[in-house]
Structure 1
Amino acid sequence: MTNADFLCYTSDREIESLKGFFYIENKVSENKLKFEIFDLNNSKFKVLINSIKNTDETKKSDRCIEIQYSKFSWWWNEDKSYDYYYWIDAGLSHNGLIHNKYLTITDEHNYRKYYESNLFNNFFLENLIKETNDKFLIIGKENQRNHWSKTIDPKWYTEYRKDIHAIGGLFGGHKDKWDNIVNIFEKYVATILPEDKLTPHEELIMSLMYYNYTDLFTVKQFDIWWPDKNATQGLSDEMFATNKSFYKILEELNGIVT
């Protein structure tokens, strides 16, 4: 994807290895990819989170609330010099989500064959912006037939619904939309956490936002995470025939009809 610039937040322990991997080993231009050190111990909601979270349970989890909430608060660091901004989790590009035919490396001995996909390209970016239009784009997983997640307490909803679960891996829009979206997200964090004495994942807050402020969003939907062919064993062909896999959204944003 050469028509976009990227900013990657990382730690002081990892930044030099990342620079070596991207700038030296893979010849990525420093003008196209920048790194910024971020101290998770000093995130915006540090005091509030630490007053509530269960440290022992957190140690067992593969999720980090500080990172999740920072996906929004990092916006305040931007100079707003670009027209469109999107958050994209690097973890969206791997063979647990993307069909093998879109993974670019076939060498069985190269670990990168599990992660590199040709679906993230300039055509994808162009169509992502078109799909966003004048709204704020989110990706929603069907959450009724293929239940994935609980919700925040229904009391926070204007009208309680749970059929769509917003994912935190890809979202964004025009720079003029971001201030309002981030303010809403942070308002919920500041209100829900102290009252419910919980630290809900960012996706639960995003799902709440979608239903309480539907007019602000455009949503692309999918049914199941797994790709056919290289899916988890035990999943039937019928499941893939009747449900839309996540990677189908990436196909759509590439203009691929299957």
Structure 2
Amino acid sequence: MKNTTKTLTYSGLMAALTFISTSILSFPSPFTGGYIHIGDALVLSSGVVLGKKNGALAAGIGSALADIYLGYASWALPTFIIKALMAYVIGYMFEDLGNFKKTGFITAFYSFLWVGFGFLVRGLIASNRIVDATQDLITEEVIANETELLSTVLSTQNIILAIALLLPLALFIVFGMSRFKPSIAMHFNKISAFIVAGSVMVILYYGTYGVMYGNWIIPVFSIPANMVQFAFGLTLATLMLPITLRFQLPKEEA
């Protein structure tokens, strides 16, 4: 009973902190009609403290409630799923940080996912099958014309592709070094877990927008903002690790 009460208390607290950090400290994102925030730090921390299942529920509920509170109710369900999946990834990887084989496999999967995503976006932009729904951006004077939009989209996509190729390479180099130094390995496993979770968020939000609105150009603008948002969240979550690890529930409770 005591363990159940502790788990419920921690879960409620993390859900509340996720809601507050997402809804209060948020700023509008003009290209997607959404917002950017620092709530990802608490989403990641939910996975660290509560484990994969309870962490997923706390992160998903807190983030979905923030969407509803800020007037983005149509995004509540996708947000719940995406944020819950982020926390689940963290909980799954943090429950066995000493398993370098598992971390290596997940890092490899993440690398192929990012590379595939980069080429997929390039292919969508290069094809003539993209739905043209950019008039609203022109009307609102966010961009001057379609040529400017396409130019910005292409440059943004090139940045995404560069990251898709360089970041996995950097991770594999560090992973190779970590096999010879356990202290580096543990730090690598933690950071790798955060990066994988962030990749899931960026890719799934892009895909969700495309499916919901039938436009694959506009959500490209959200990718850099999502990556900056997540980078800040990753940094904050990393700085919070000495605290969150102290409150981490035992595996049998999580």
**TM-score calculated relative to the size of structure 2:** 0.27
**Structure in which a larger fraction of residues adopt helix:** 2
**TM-score calculated relative to the size of structure 1:** 0.27
Q: Which has the higher contact order (CA 8 A, sep 6+)?
A: 2
